[in-house]
Copies of this chain bind each other. A is one copy, B any other.
Amino acid sequence: MERKKMTAAEVESRIASTGNWRFDNDVLFKRFEFANFAESLAFVNQVGEIAEAADHHPDITFGWGYAELRTTTHDRGGVTDVDFALVEKIDAID
């Protein structure tokens, strides 16, 4: 992958094909809702497996009935194709 910081226009163009991710403050963000804590935790573990395989790790906030994911490429100071590759794999979970 290129791993080059994308411009806002490039991000806005590519984000349209994701499952409702948002672009905010150099980060791709999405909130997911679940029926309870166990389902949130199960989802977080699926994301963790994907992140480890990609060696690219989002920041995850979760609790009873929800999970929020944020991904950016820290050493590039913004969003790169590596973030979009991660997002696409997460979108493909069930």
Residues on A facing B (Cβ under 8 Å):
37-38, 41, 44-45, 48, 51-52, 57-64
Contacts and interface: CB of A to CB of B under 8 A. Distances in A.
Given A44-B44, A45-B45, A57 B64 contact: yes
Copies in the complex: 2
Given A44-B44, A45-B45, A63 B52 contact: no
Contact of A61 (B37, B38, B57, B59): B59
Contacts of A41: 44-45, 48
Contacts of A51: 37
Contact of A60 (B45, B57, B63): B63
Nearest to A51: B37
